[in-house]
Amino acid sequence: MFVTDTLLHRLKRGCETMAYPKGPPPALPERHGGALKVDSGHCVVDCRTCVPACPTDAITRMEGLPVNLDLGRCVFCSACVQACPAQAITQTGDHQMAVTRREDLLLGNPGNEQVRLATALDEKLRKLFGRSLRLRQVSAGGCNACEADTNVLGTIGWDLSRFGIQFVASPRHADGLFVTGPVTHAMVLALQKTYDAVPDPKIVIATGVCAISGGPFAGHPQVNNGVAAILPVDLFIPGCPPHPLTILDGLLRMLGRLETKIGRIP
């Protein structure tokens, strides 16, 4: 009787998995400002109001030039947005932020005011991983926020497995690593051994500001300021933590399953 009631309940509720990417993406929460944008034309020369406001030194400025914002170090606290008197730094509300190259997260110069979105893997790797991608997640000293948002992708509303993407227990069964955390010294050997255990060819994904640059721990003697100091990285997904939609967008974009958004630089 219990099994029958459960099945009937599920049938009444219908399909709860979102249509995205075939349909529109779910709306981001109001407090989630999405990707930041730097408008160099609005940036007041020699104004440094936003620089001390940033808690992670993600904003720098050379004399006579617009500010430079490193989304790979940004914790998206929006302190710079509130501090800027000219509104040169704004929140776009856009969930798309994943990039292929670390330097594509550096914003500020004319023509480089928004994120250059990730491009797809080469044809050979897309044939290998495009329909079946297995990832081993490694928490390299993270606070569990990025891990928690990643776990959301396995729920019924997101159903990551419908794209052929799954997380596996053993690196020997994986196609690559999904790394979170600033890579503490205690995790370096474990991370390297896990990477070595993944069969070639393999990919590495750095997820969250800590995994990209060390985040709020950057420069601390007990961390390595991100994954790239240890392993070659194929995809950078910024955020603190990244929204599940940002993570999913990055994974699908890497696999060539999404078209580049109009107006963005591929």
| Total-model pTM | 0.89
> Residue 1: what pLDDT?
59
Phi-psi region of 177 (alpha: psi -120 to 50; beta: other; left: phi over 0): beta
Q: Determine the angle formed by the axes of helices 145-152 and 244-254, rounding to 10 degrees.
A: 70
> Residue 109: what pLDDT?
66
> Residue 110: what pLDDT?
59
Residue 10: pLDDT above 80? no
In sequence order, what are the beta bridge partners of 223? 184
**Residue of higher predicted confidence among 64 and 131:** 131
Q: How far apart are CA 83 and CA 162, in angstroms?
A: 43
50-94 pLDDT per residue, tens: 889 999 999 887 776 778 899 999 999 999 999 888 888 889 999
> Residue 64: what pLDDT?
66
Residue 265: pLDDT above 70? no
Out of 28-37, 108-117, 182-191, which region has the weakest mean confidence (pLDDT)? 108-117
Local confidence band at 191 (pLDDT 50, 70, 90 cut-offs):
very high
- Are the CB atoms for 153 and 160 separated by under 8 Å? yes
> Residue 66: what pLDDT?
77
Domains of the chain: 123-254 (3.40.50.12280)
